[in-house]
């Protein structure tokens, strides 16, 4: 405790020491990462100067950007795609100079188009592929724009740029991997443990069927976000861990199992909610017994705890036993419902089939989860054929809008440069290109650009103090390194906090960029001030473009995403090739759910509305896929192919143009298909209706009834929302 003497407050050394120790315990990870970032930057600066490269700032900026990640696998993965992007971008710069050596207007026009195309690719693809496209876009500007008035210097600029980028990647990779390394594998395993704990909780609530639609949507959204994060970690861990790289297929299968299982259990939740609305509750009571048999074996961790590997192993063993017992239990329950009306039998068959398939998916998920943590190389074959790679179809409207926005922003900066005759205008073009490319792939680019502008302004002022008050008094590299470390550490430390991460990253990037340490050093305050103002202007123009040109939070873009979702059911689920269709469909639904999570909670194209559409597409789309798959393995009655085509055409028309008329047409087509399968349910080859493994018309009838219940659910937007509007109809 502090001691007092009169009015003087004397600090207690013991209390001060305890406070310092507590701070160190809380923030030592952040401080260690900031120190590693500073070391990587200083090392890249020293190596660039040692090799007599004229300006080491590109190497320093590369080190700062790569070290924004605290885990070595992410640094290596980002460095790999950064190298590829820089190589492509510099080759594009050479081609532009070859085509337009003395035509500045055409040169800048083609440069803006090229950058727009790269941003379009970055917005279309995911993970580190996106980063490669980003680099290919703005690397062309970095290499080409400074040489626009001296075309013969482009070769030297390209060689120096590639050399400095390589040095930055090398230094960041070595420091991250060798000095107090943090492994992605450890992070991924911990995230996977949390994910399966959350997932089991979701399954328990789905089996109870008592969760409100809004709560269900939020749970679904959280699980999808966790899975997407795990996929990002998987993409990085293959650069770090040879054993996990050998088991990459196993990790991909684990993702497939999750997508299958969450879709099944979501359908079970919705089916149970609809059965409760029926007048006859006999099917619901019978299904309650079956659902409880699965719910009872789900482990229940204590508050805040995660499921251990032993608990998951116990669950896996219980699931094996349950799967072998389910056909008998379903047959007994079905026999007890022999006198129930046909709708009740159909509801039971649909629920029983969904439960069996969900149990099989969960069993496969736990098997692969355990194998990833207990074996060196997993060699077991998957239970069904699946493509190795996750197929993905990005939103073309979003990609094209991002590319158009980037091209317009760079053209605007180029026009200002030419019209004003500003010598430092080239820095504005480069800054706008970097900002418009780098932030386009982020969830909220306008807010990110504004925070980056704050970081740039702070870096400009800090660089002004460093360049003209500290640097002239330094003698030798050692003093230079000692004085530059606090600035780099400050930016990196801020970057470890979520609220200031973008500001900290911007400070580190633009401090290294604007300080522009040269070999030898040049004292030029006018050039420094000019470059700083131009850089701030370029970022401001990019921020303005994000806010005005097809803003990401606008209604037009949301409607394009919704249109893509409808086409996914109307064209892919109803008429696409079955090979790999389920995985493609489920992964696209996952991406849409993640996009819906970025929308406002209320208003037009709100989060709730888009989640309702995603659930409608998930249930009916997967139901259609299941029917098509089951029909290929069954001996169907005469005329079924035509009946199925009519039903698929009606559902396709409903999703392309939802209205009361198309809804009624789809409902009649599904009911007609149910009637046709009813004529052949007596010949099931000894299998009970709805018994899993029975690929007979009775199972298809159960699936058809499930689709019919989804069409009749007033919680889904298929009836009440007219195409392209948010208006309700009577």
pLDDT of residue 725: 38
Question: What distances in angstroms separate CA 652 from CA 388, 569, 575, 727, 728, one per listed residue?
Answer: 29, 7, 9, 22, 22
Q: β-strands 8-10, 3-5: how paired?
A: antiparallel
Identify the sign of the CA torsion 210, 201, 623, 234. Answer: positive
Whose structure tokens read 């190298």?
83
Which pLDDT band holds residue 484 (cuts at 50, 70, 90)?
Answer: very high
Distance CA 544, CA 445 (A): 10
The predicted model gives 248-272 an average pLDDT of 82
DSSP per-residue letters across 540-609: HHHHHHHHHSS-TTSHHHHHHHHHHHHHIIIIIIHHS-STTHHHHHHHHHHHHHHHHTTS-SSSTT-HHH
Which pLDDT band holds residue 408 (cuts at 50, 70, 90)?
Answer: very high
Say if residue 327's pLDDT is above 50: yes
Distance CA 65, CA 273 (A): 49
Give the residue from 274, 273, 313 showing the smallest Cα distance to 297. 313
The H or E element spanning position 517 is: none
Query: Exposure string (b/e) for 1-16, b if CB count within 10 Å is 16 or more?
Result: eeeeeeeeeeeeeeee
Give the residue from 634, 670, 640, 633 showing the smallest Cα distance to 652. 670
348-350-352-356 Cα dihedral, nearest 10 degrees? 180
Question: What distances in angstroms separate CA 248 from CA 69, 133, 319, 368, one per listed residue?
Answer: 22, 24, 25, 12
Exposed/middle/buried for residue 476 (C-beta within 10 Å: 0-12, 13-18, 19+)? exposed
* Token representation of residue 537: 């202007």
Which pLDDT band holds residue 114 (cuts at 50, 70, 90)?
Answer: very high
Which pLDDT band holds residue 389 (cuts at 50, 70, 90)?
Answer: very low
Distance CA 185, CA 162 (A): 30
The predicted model gives 318-342 an average pLDDT of 84
Say if residue 413's pLDDT is above 50: yes
β-pair partners for 10: 3
| Range in 56-60, 194-198, 381-385, 487-491 with the lowest mean pLDDT | 381-385
| Range in 68-72, 217-221, 435-439 with the lowest mean pLDDT | 217-221
407-409-415-418 Cα dihedral, nearest 10 degrees? -100
Say if residue 41's pLDDT is above 90: yes
Our measurement of the distance from residue 312's CA atom to the centroid of its chain's CA atoms, rounded to an integer in Å, reads 26
More confidently predicted of 599 and 663: 663
DSSP per-residue letters across 662-695: HHHHHHHHHHHHHHHHHTTTT-STTPPTT-TT--
201: CB partners within 8 A, 6+ apart? none
Which pLDDT band holds residue 693 (cuts at 50, 70, 90)?
Answer: very low
pLDDT of residue 16: 72
Say if residue 38's pLDDT is above 90: yes
pLDDT of residue 488: 93
Distance CA 489, CA 486 (A): 5
Cis link prior to 432 (omega < 30° from 0)?
no
pLDDT of residue 24: 66
pLDDT of residue 127: 65
Max intra-chain CA distance, the chain: 103
pLDDT of residue 728: 35
Give the residue from 395, 370, 384, 367 showing the smallest Cα distance to 583. 384
Distance CA 644, CA 672 (A): 10
39: CB partners within 8 A, 6+ apart? 175, 179
Say if residue 679's pLDDT is above 50: yes
β-pair partners for 105: none
| Segment 642-678, tens digit of pLDDT | 888 899 999 999 998 888 888 889 889 988 888 877 6
If you average pLDDT over each of 389-393, 506-510, 604-608, which comes out highest? 506-510
Give the residue from 586, 492, 613 showing the smallest Cα distance to 33. 492
* Token representation of residue 729: 């109809």
Distance CA 467, CA 477 (A): 14
The crossing angle, in degrees rounded to 10, of helices 697-712 and 660-678 is: 160
Say if residue 6's pLDDT is above 60: no
Which pLDDT band holds residue 689 (cuts at 50, 70, 90)?
Answer: very low
Which pLDDT band holds residue 387 (cuts at 50, 70, 90)?
Answer: very low
The predicted model gives 80-89 an average pLDDT of 87
| Segment 180-237, tens digit of pLDDT | 888 888 888 888 888 899 899 888 888 876 666 667 777 877 888 888 788 778 877 7
Contact between 535 and 422 under an 8 Å Cβ cutoff? The reply is no
pLDDT of residue 458: 94
| Segment 130-156, tens digit of pLDDT | 888 888 888 888 888 888 877 777 888
The H or E element spanning position 424 is: none
pLDDT of residue 691: 45
pLDDT of residue 460: 93
The crossing angle, in degrees rounded to 10, of helices 396-420 and 525-548 is: 140
* Token representation of residue 663: 């809804």
Which pLDDT band holds residue 377 (cuts at 50, 70, 90)?
Answer: very low
* Token representation of residue 706: 């499930």
Q: Is 4 helix (H, G, I), strand (E, B) or coil?
A: strand
| Segment 153-169, tens digit of pLDDT | 788 888 888 898 899 99
Distance CA 618, CA 243 (A): 35
| Segment 500-509, tens digit of pLDDT | 888 998 899 9
* pTM (whole model) above 0.75: yes
Distance CA 209, CA 287 (A): 12
Distance CA 3, CA 571 (A): 78
Our measurement of the distance from residue 650's CA atom to the centroid of its chain's CA atoms, rounded to an integer in Å, reads 33
* Token representation of residue 672: 């007609």
More confidently predicted of 328 and 102: 328
Whose structure tokens read 């700083």?
532
Question: What distances in angstroms separate CA 125 from CA 144, 393, 451, 533, 543, one per listed residue?
Answer: 26, 8, 25, 33, 22
| Segment 345-363, tens digit of pLDDT | 777 888 888 888 889 989 9
% residues pLDDT > 70 (the chain) = 86
Which pLDDT band holds residue 329 (cuts at 50, 70, 90)?
Answer: confident
pLDDT of residue 612: 82
The predicted model gives 574-581 an average pLDDT of 85
Between CA 671 and CA 235, with CA 262 as vertex, the angle to 5 degrees is 135
Average pLDDT across the chain, whole number: 81
């Amino acid at each position: 405790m502090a001691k007092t003497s009169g009015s003087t407050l004397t600090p207690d050394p013991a209390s001060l020491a305890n406070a310092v120790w507590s701070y160190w315990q809380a923030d030592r990870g952040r401080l260690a990462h900031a120190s590693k970032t500073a070391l990587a930057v200083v090392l890249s600066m020293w190596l660039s100067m040692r090799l007599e490269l004229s300006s080491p700032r590109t190497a320093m900026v590369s080190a700062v950007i790569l070290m924004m990640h605290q885990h070595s696998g992410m640094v290596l993965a980002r460095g790999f795609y950064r190298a590829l992007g820089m190589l492509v971008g510099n080759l594009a710069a050479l081609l532009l100079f070859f085509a337009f050596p003395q035509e500045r207007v055409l040169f800048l026009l083609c440069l803006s188009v090229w950058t727009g195309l790269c941003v379009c690719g970055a917005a279309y693809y995911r993970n580190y592929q996106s980063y490669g496209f980003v680099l290919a876009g703005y690397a062309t500007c970095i290499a080409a724009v400074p040489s626009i008035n001296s075309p013969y210097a482009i070769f030297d600029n390209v060689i120096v740029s590639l050399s400095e980028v390589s040095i930055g990647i090398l230094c960041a990779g070595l420091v991250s991997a060798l000095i107090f390394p943090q492994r992605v594998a450890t992070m991924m395993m911990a995230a996977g443990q949390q994910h399966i704990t959350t997932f089991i909780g979701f399954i328990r609530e789905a089996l109870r069927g008592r969760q409100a639609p809004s709560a269900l949507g939020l749970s679904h959204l959280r699980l999808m976000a966790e899975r997407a994060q795990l996929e990002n970690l998987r993409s990085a861990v293959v650069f770090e861990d040879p054993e996990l790289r050998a088991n990459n297929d196993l990790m991909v299968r684990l993702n497939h199992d999750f997508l299958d299982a969450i879709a099944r259990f979501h359908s079970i939740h919705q089916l149970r909610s609809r059965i409760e609305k029926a007048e006859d509750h006999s099917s619901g009571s019978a299904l309650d017994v079956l659902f409880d048999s699965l719910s009872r074996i789900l482990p229940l961790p204590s508050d805040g705890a995660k499921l251990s590997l032993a608990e998951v192993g116990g669950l896996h063993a219980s699931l094996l036993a349950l799967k072998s017992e389910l056909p008998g239990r379903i047959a007994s329950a079905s026999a007890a419902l022999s006198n129930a009306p046909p709708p009740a039998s159909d509801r039971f068959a649909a629920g029983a089939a969904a439960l069996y398939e969900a149990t099989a998916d969960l069993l496969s998920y736990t098997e692969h989860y355990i194998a990833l943590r207990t074996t060196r190389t997993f060699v077991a074959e998957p239970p069904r054929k699946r493509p190795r790679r996750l197929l993905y179809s990005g939103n073309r409207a979003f990609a094209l809008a991002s590319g158009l926005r980037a091209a317009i922003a760079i053209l605007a900066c180029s026009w200002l440069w030419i019209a004003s005759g500003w010598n430092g205008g080239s820095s504005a073009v480069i800054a706008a290109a970097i900002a418009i490319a780098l932030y386009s792939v982020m969830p909220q680019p306008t807010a990110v650009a504004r925070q980056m502008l704050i970081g740039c302004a702070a870096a400009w002022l800090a660089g002004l103090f460093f360049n003209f008050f500290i640097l002239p008094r330094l003698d030798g590299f050692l003093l230079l390194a000692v004085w530059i470390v606090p600035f780099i550490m400050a930016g990196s430390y801020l970057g470890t906090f979520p609220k200031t991460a973008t500001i900290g990253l911007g400070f580190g990037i633009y401090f290294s960029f604007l300080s522009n340490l040269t070999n030898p050093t040049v004292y030029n305050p006018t050039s420094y001030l000019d470059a700083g103002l131009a850089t701030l202007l370029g970022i401001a123009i990019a921020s303005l473009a994000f806010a005005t040109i097809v803003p990401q939070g606008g209604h037009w873009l949301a409607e394009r995403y919704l249109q893509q979702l409808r086409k996914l059911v109307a064209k892919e689920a109803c008429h696409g090739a079955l090979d790999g269709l389920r995985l493609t469909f489920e992964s696209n639904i996952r991406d849409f759910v993640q996009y819906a999570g970025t929308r406002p909670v209320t208003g037009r194209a709100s989060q709730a509305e888009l989640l309702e559409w995603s659930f409608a597409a998930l249930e009916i789309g997967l139901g259609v896929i299941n029917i098509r798959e089951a029909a290929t393995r069954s001996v169907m009655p005469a005329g079924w192919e035509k009946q199925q085509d009519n039903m698929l055409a009606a559902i396709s028309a409903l999703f392309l143009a939802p209205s009361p008329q198309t809804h009624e047409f789809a409902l009649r087509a599904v009911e007609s298909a149910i009637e046709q399968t009813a004529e052949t349910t007596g010949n099931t080859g000894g299998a009970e209706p709805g018994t899993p493994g029975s690929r007979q018309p009775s199972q298809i009838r159960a699936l058809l009834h499930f689709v019919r219940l989804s069409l009749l659910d007033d919680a889904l937007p298929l009836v009440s929302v007219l195409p392209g509007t948010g208006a309700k109809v009577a």
